[in-house]
Chains A and B, each alone.
Chain A
């Protein structure tokens, strides 16, 4: 049955957003577990790479929470997290190819996320597009006087 557009409660965690949250949650777990093992067992081998690994995990957690919570605050948090993520995957991806010695072990962002089917490269772009779409929807609802999710928060 066709889904009537716009009749659902909506928000960043509904519809396609729910898929996005699921993928982000998987990456938060995967990157978090990987970073935990790296930092706990062989931190001295490549401290910079492993700290970046932990940073990546933190960014995924923040993005997941921001997308799942939605609303104005959640969207803003998620936009920051996705932007950091995009910058991170580009910078770390480039560095890992230029200076292999500094990145002896695979991290989520190594070689632009090759070890994870390049999903880490695509994910922040999808996230930012989705968030832009969601703020447009929220702005329209606000203009129409039907903005239940955001409350009286200030921009």
Chain B
């Protein structure tokens, strides 16, 4: 996976899926999001920042994925996404806050794997 560390990729994916499930569960239970959701999103964010630093260091060290611009864009986007998701769901007073957070988390998970693809892409 190159600059995309397997441990970070897999743990970020797992946390993102868990946060998404917790968000959907709170919507189904007709509840607002709670501390659990925020803590999960915080853990996800920490993992993403560490991964971004690792990938940033690899880029700075001269390693280059085939589409460097796209890769960098995804890297910046994926770090911002959980923050945006938390902010946008925190201002929602109804049970739908959980679904907003779930959408943000699932998109985060997809973007992590797009980053892995982009790093490994064979010169396309």
Contacts and interface: CB of A to CB of B under 8 A. Distances in A.
Most chain A CB within a 10 A radius of its CB, from B30, B89, B92:
B92
A18 B107 CA distance: 16
Nearest to A18: B92
A68 to B, nearest CB: 10
A41 B67 CA distance: 10
A22 B30 contact: no
B69 A19 contact: no
B11 interface: no
Contacts of A21: 88
A58 B94 CA distance: 30
B77 interface: yes
Please classify the interface of chain B as helix (H, G, I), strand (E, B), loop, or mixed, using the class held by over half of its residues: helix
B103 A19 contact: yes
B93 A22 contact: no
Given A22-B85, A22-B103, A22-B104, A1 B96 contact: no
B73 interface: yes
Interface stretch (A8-16, A48-56, A75-83, A95-103): A8-16
A19 B100 contact: yes
A2 B28 CA distance: 10
Interface in B65-99: 67, 69-70, 73, 77, 84-85, 88-89, 92-97, 99
> Interface of chain A, helix or strand or loop or mixed?
helix
A87 interface: no
A14 B30 CA distance: 15
Given A2-B30, A3-B30, A33-B73, A26 B103 contact: yes
B64 interface: no
A74 B88 CA distance: 19
B94 A37 contact: no
A137 interface: no
A29 B84 CA distance: 13
B77 A33 contact: yes
A23 interface: yes
Contacts of A18: 88-89, 92, 96-97, 100
Contacts of A14: 92, 94
Contact of A37 (B31, B70, B88, B100): B70
Interface of A: 1-3, 8, 14-16, 18-19, 21-23, 25-26, 29, 33, 37, 41
Sorted nearest first, the 10 A-B pairs with minimum C-beta distance are: A19-B99, A18-B92, A3-B94, A22-B100, A15-B96, A22-B103, A15-B94, A2-B30, A33-B73, A19-B100
